[in-house]
């Protein structure tokens, strides 16, 4: 079993999530349904190698201390948000594919006028809330993209982990990662 091949399969199947746990074959969420890959069950050794692949020494130390880790991982041209955790005494993973292209408000079917208005605020606190997988990070990336495409600003994001990578356009964007 090879982590890179599993991540590539995930991208090819347009899976939103890849689930790995010791003793079970890899599984993926495709169109809201969980599908099991035709691979043997994940072993402890495979999971330890996967942890080394997706994290640096500092992150592994944090994982040993906190028993969980949220990080980002790049494989080729694809980027993934990774949640590592302890599950029944073993390492478990959930990989979420992060699209490289940041979508617009219209593409995401978000309320354009309201978000454009939010993008013009010069101070204050805006909270984007929702359940896991509801699109909070995607919506925030679209807001930052809109600001970057339309305004001359210095934008600072504080993320855990950094998911979408922004390129300076009209704005300068500094993306800071919590704990780094």
Tens of pLDDT along 130-155? Answer: 987 788 999 999 999 999 999 999 99
Q: How far is C-alpha 66 from the chain's CA centre?
A: 19
Gap between the Cα atoms of 84 and 64, Å rounded? 11
Local confidence band at 3 (pLDDT 50, 70, 90 cut-offs): very high
For residues 95 and 10, is the Cβ–Cβ distance under 8 A?
yes
- The beta strand positions in the chain, using DSSP E, are 17-21, 27-30, 33-36, 68-75, 78-87, 90-98, 154-159, 172-177
Helix or strand holding residue 119 (H, E):
helix 112-120
Gap between the Cα atoms of 101 and 65, Å rounded? 35
Lowest mean pLDDT among 72-76, 82-86, 93-97, 147-151: 72-76
Which pLDDT score is estimated for 160?
83
Tens of pLDDT along 19-34? Answer: 999 999 999 999 999 9
What's the whole-number mean pLDDT along residues 151-179? 92
The domain limits of the chain are 3-98, 105-177
Gap between the Cα atoms of 18 and 41, Å rounded? 14
Share of the chain above pLDDT 70, in %: 99
Is 80 exceeded by the pLDDT of residue 179? no
- CATH among 3.30.450.90, 3.40.50.1220, 3.40.640.10, 3.90.1300.10 for 3-98: 3.30.450.90
Q: What is the pTM of this model?
A: 0.82
Which two three-digit tokens encode residue 102?
């940041």
């Amino acid at each position: 079993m090879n982590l890179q091949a599993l991540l590539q399969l995930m991208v090819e199947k347009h899976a939103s999530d890849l689930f790995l746990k010791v003793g079970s074959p890899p599984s993926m969420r495709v169109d809201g349904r969980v599908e099991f890959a035709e691979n043997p069950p994940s072993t402890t050794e495979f999971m330890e190698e996967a942890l080394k692949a997706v994290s640096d020494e500092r992150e592994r130390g944090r994982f040993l201390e906190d028993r969980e880790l949220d990080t980002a991982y790049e494989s080729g041209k694809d980027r993934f948000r990774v949640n590592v955790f302890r599950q029944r005494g073993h390492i478990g993973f959930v990989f979420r594919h992060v699209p490289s292209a940041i979508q617009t408000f219209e593409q995401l079917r978000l309320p354009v006028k309201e978000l454009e208005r939010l993008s013009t605020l010069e101070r204050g606190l805006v909270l984007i809330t929702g359940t896991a997988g509801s699109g909070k990070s995607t919506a925030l990336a679209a807001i930052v993209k809109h600001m970057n495409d339309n305004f001359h600003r210095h934008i600072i994001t504080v993320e855990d982990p950094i998911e979408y990578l922004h390129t300076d356009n009209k704005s300068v964007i500094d993306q800071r990662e919590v704990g780094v």
